Structure 1
Amino acid sequence: MKIIDKIQQAQKDKQIAYSFEYFPPKTEVGFANLIDRLGRMSQLEPEFISCTWGAGGSTHDRTLELCSTAQSLYGLDTLMHLTCTNMGKAKIDIALKQAKEAGIRNILALRGDPPRGHEYWTPVDSQFSHAIDLVKYIRQEYKDYFCIGVAGYPEGHIDCPDKEQDMLHLKEKVDAGADFIMTQLFYDADVCVAWIQKCRQHGIHAPIVPGIMPIPTYQSFRRMINLCNVKVPAKVMHDLDEIKADDQKVKEYGVHLAVEMIQYLHQQAGICNFHISTLNLERSTRLILEALHLHKASESIQPSKVSPWAPIHDPARAELWDEFPNGRYGDSRSPAYGQTTHSSGQILPTSQAIIKWGLPETEDDIGQLFVKYIKGELESLPWCEERLQTESDAICQRLCQINQRGYWTVSSQPAVNGASSLDEVYGWGPKGGYVYQKAFIEFFVAEDGIEDLLKRLGKDESITYYATNQKGDFSTNVSDADEAQNAVTWGVFPGKEIIQPTIIEKASFEAWKDDAFGLWREWEEQYPPNSKSQELLHAIGQKYWLVNVVHNDFQQPDLLFDVMLST
């Protein structure tokens, strides 16, 4: 059914209603596990669920499959996101036609993100440059068949610094036929209340559904707010800084904050509908609903009933097994694999890119940027949103040497042998535990140096590697018989099974490859066509290899770097 009817009914009844957002995982097994998780979370009885749409239709098939499966298998009403950036009319026609054939009645019409820093970028189809173009087209072609939602930005759209103009754009989308507004994530409820009041003052009377994103981990939270340019109240940041080393406490704080915001918006602004961005995880969402007394606790998935040897598909363990954390180096089987780190990078408008990274014309110029980043003289690189973590201080000198040798690092960590979970540098997780790490390093290297490097790495049995290039050529010293998930970070805590939040494996490496090389393409787009900088960055993306190396003996912290620097 059209979800606008449910949204309006909740407002009429003045009762809190909720819905969930999901995204298509990057791996086949992750998608299969999300379908299982969706079945469990359907028991929480959301009013509807939504599924995101990849840039340029990159997740078209998966998004459609997830929506149609949720409807046919679990009886859930679905809201399919649809973006028009980099989508020609033919693609949009196909997406809408297939959505209707699948029985999907609800579309969240979005502009979507053009390539970041798009001064030299040209849309695929000038007919669809903004979300309002998509709203008008859907109404023109399908009349009232679809319920249409549009995005609202309580803090203003990142590409529209004039908030008054942004408000007028929102009114135009509603006047063009949008049925409701769904907000971008925020963490200051007062800002959202004030924005809702301004909407009403501007004659925007469509129902508003705030988007609520529980805080997953401290690091992923920092990435998200930087990527979306979201402001966070000083008290919230202070509270999180105090507990950032304890992942469990961060999650608990995130649940508490989400509950507070929902209650405040319900009481102060009369908002009754809330859309929870689950990040494909389930525990925080369930705890939020229980705290709001919207759903009874499920005894079947309480931690006390979890068997340490239960397989992942066991419902008793399934809620918990992939909670800390997920992303680029998480478990590729997880429904949440790749949630926030896969496609995020520091791509800037051209003027800012030149200020930050200059006008590189040689490979040595690029190498110097990587060295400056390691030394802390550069705040970010396209693959690295923030400055290096404190733990990298222990290997900073070696990293500089490696980068000067032409191995441009995008990720690394030192070996750790039983540091306290409260250690200011290496600690994480609950107190009273110990954490361990294998040294690993990930980098780009020129094609003419890859053969010699892999020969050197292959001489030490304690070292494993994966290597690939943009064309898909692949090399590894991990045999099919030995292929397994290689935990490179793990923690041992009182009363808990061993937690392995960071895993390196073939599936995750291959899934990350497209994004890693895609960032070279996005970087080159920051410079004028046919300029030396653009040609250089394009050539590097074409001929360089991405390599991930793990030293599996964490009691020898220097060996990996010795091998990397040997001749």
Structure 2
Amino acid sequence: MSVIEKIKNAKGPLFTFELLPPLKGHSIERVYSAIDRLVEFDPAYINFTSHRDEIIYSERPDGLLEKKIVRKRPGTIALAAAVKYKYNLTVVPHLLCGGFSREETENVLIEMNFLGIDDVLALRGDPQKGSRTFIPEKDGHSHTSDLVKQIINMNNGKYLEELLEDTTPTSFCVGVAGYPEKHNEAPNRHVDLENLKLKVDSGASYIVTQMFFDNSKFFRFRDECKAIGINVPVIPGIKPISALNDIRMLPQTFHIDVPNDLVNAIKKCTTDKDAREVGIEWAIMQSKELISKGVPGIHYYTLGRSDNVARIVRASF
């Protein structure tokens, strides 16, 4: 059953969460341990992030710098497949524009189809590390809407090689990201919503939002989506604070606001453990209100900390 089918057939709000592939050289067992803490709550699906290659410079013996291209967290598709068949769960790997040509994208989608993975979250991805501007690969996509169109074309049996005959249509269910506080590159909220509508009009079946800490911003976003003609389900994304530094790091990294009440509560903490407890209570408060307002589900960004998400879900659902 695809994600959109799960949403439509659900008798209550769905619980879903996101995990990162392990760093290169680390074991998949760490991912399994994270899932083991959450599987009792019957997650509707698990997202797996994708991480584009990075450019690094290392010093050679002669003192000159050597440019290298590395991928620190490879294995997204293989990890998703391993989890799908180990736990019999729906998995949703991320698929990025950044770092992939259209042909490479098609090949990844073919592999996913062969593996029985029919759900995908389509994202543009961040600019190359060290760059402020997103630059697509040669013959790659500049916008998520174009990536969505390519996926939907494959669902219609249309591949990049137009001369292919008797092609087999795929059956991907595509999700996309939404930004309650506006994507940082959009000049204003209206343009950002128009971009989101283009992704939906291109074939996306549902929206998962960027993390936020003020529910009123999500409710405003949901209303604005309806007003502009976006009628697919909108799933809120929640990330619990887990360290003192989060109130500084998260706004810088994800371009979001942290409410004063939460900032003041964290400032009273003296240890990361104290901050983590505040973060859990805040996320429980958010989750309960969101559920009371009829959201189709809540998506939790674990960032490697599934134990606190388990406490939040146990108290909220």
Q: Would you say same fold, with TM above 0.5?
A: yes
User: SS at 2:171's partner residue?
Assistant: coil
Say whether the 8 Å CA contact 1:262–1:274 is kept in structure 2: yes
**Matches for 1:73-222 after TM superposition, within 5 Å:** 73-115=86-128, 118=131, 122-143=135-156, 145-222=171-248
TM-score scaled to structure 2, two decimals? 0.85
1:36 to 15, 33, 36: 33
> What is the CA-CA distance between 1:118 and the residue it aligns to?
4.3
**Equivalent residue number for residue 44 of structure 2:** 47
Distance 2:264 2:189 in 1: 28
When the two chains are superposed, the root-mean-square deviation of aligned CA atoms in Å is 2.0
Task: Give unmatched runs, 5+ long, in structure 1.
Answer: 295-567
- Separation in structure 2 between the aligned mates of residue 68 and residue 121 of structure 1, nearest angstrom: 29
> What is the number of residues matched between the two proteins?
288
**Greater gyration radius:** 1
Q: Conserved in 2, the CA contact under 8 Å of 1:22 and 1:278?
A: yes
Runs in 1 of length 4+ with deviation above 4 angstroms? 116-122
| Aligned twin of 2:275 | 250
Q: CA deviation at 1:116?
A: 5.5
The whole-number CA distance in structure 1 between the counterparts of 2:140 and 2:271 is 49
- Given that residues 177 and 210 in structure 2 are in contact (C-alpha distance below 8 angstroms), is that contact kept between their aligned partners in structure 1? yes
Q: Which residue of 1 aligns with 2:58?
A: none
3-state DSSP of counterpart to 1:82: strand
CA deviation map 1:321-341 (0-9, x unaligned)? xxxxxxxxxxxxxxxxxxxxx
Q: Report the Cα distance in structure 1 between the residues aligned to 2:21 and 2:227, rounded to whole angstroms.
A: 37
Letter in 2 for 1:237: V
- The amino acid across from 1:148 in the alignment is V
Match of 1:273 in 2: 297
Which of 47, 52, 62 is the matching residue for 2:75?
Answer: 62
For residue 314 of structure 2, what is the aligned residue in structure 1?
A: 290
Residues 165 and 116 from structure 1, CA distance in 2 versus in 1: closer, same or farther, beyond 3 angstroms? farther
Q: Note the alpha carbon deviations across 1:443-477, whole angstroms, 9 max, x for none.
A: xxxxxxxxxxxxxxxxxxxxxxxxxxxxxxxxxxx
Tell me: CA distance 1:119–1:237, structure 2 relative to 1, closer, same or farther (3 Å): closer
| Paired residues of 1:60 and 1:95 also in contact (CA < 8 A) | no
Q: What CA deviation, in whole Å up to 9, does each residue of 1:504-538 have, x standing for no partner? A: xxxxxxxxxxxxxxxxxxxxxxxxxxxxxxxxxxx
**2:273 alignment partner AA:** Q
Q: Which runs of 5+ in 2 are unaligned?
A: 55-70, 157-169
Native 8 Å contact 1:199 1:205 kept in 2? yes
Mapped partners of 1:122, 1:47: distance in 2? 34
The one-letter amino acid paired with 1:290 is R
Distance change >3 Å, CA 257–CA 30, structure 1 → 2? farther
Separation in structure 2 between the aligned mates of residue 289 and residue 56 of structure 1, nearest angstrom? 34
Partner of 1:19: 16
Distance, in Å, in 1 between the alignment partners of 2:53 and 2:180 is: 25
Shift of 1:188: 0.9
C-alpha separation between the residues in 2 aligned to 1:99 and 1:56? Answer: 20
Which whole-Å CA distance do the structure 1 matches of 2:140 and 2:153 have between them? 14
Aligned partner of residue 28 in structure 2, secondary structure: helix
**Aligned-partner Cα distance in 2 for 1:178–1:167:** 14
TM-superposed deviation, 1:7: 1.5
Separation (CA, whole Å) in 1 of partners of 2:203 and 2:134: 29
Offset at residue 94 of structure 1 (A): 1.9
1:264 equivalent in structure 2: 289
Deviation at 1:277, TM superposition (A): 0.9
Aligned AA for 1:262?
S
Deviation at residue 60 of structure 1 after TM alignment:
7.7
Secondary structure at the aligned position of 1:211 is classed as strand
Partner of 1:3: 3
Partner of residue 240, structure 1: 266
Cα distance in 2 between the residues matched to 1:162 and 1:116 = 25
Structure 1 residues 79 and 106, CA gap change in structure 2 (3 angstroms): same
Structure 1 range deviating more: 78-87 or 219-228? 219-228
For residue 256 of structure 2, give the secondary structure of its aligned residue in structure 1. coil
User: What SS does the aligned partner of 2:26 have?
Assistant: helix
Partner-residue secondary structure (3-state), 2:180: coil
CA contact (8 A) 1:84 1:112 kept: yes
In structure 2, the residue corresponding to 1:29 is in which secondary structure?
coil
After the TM superposition, which of the residue ranges 135-144 and 175-184 deviates more from structure 2? Answer: 135-144
What's the % identity of the aligned pairs?
30
Higher-RCO chain (CA-CA 8 Å, sequence separation at least 6): 2
1:273-422 mapped onto 2 (5 Å cutoff) = 273-292=297-316, 294=317
Give TM-score scaled by structure 1 length. Answer: 0.49
Output the CA distance in 2 between the equivalents of 1:59 and 1:142.
31
Contact 1:39 / 1:74 at 8 angstroms: preserved in 2? Answer: no
3-state SS, counterpart of residue 151 of structure 2: helix
Name the SS for the 2:93 alignment partner: strand
Say if 1:36 and 1:238 are closer, same or farther in 2 by CA, change over 3 A: closer
Amino acid at match of 1:284: N
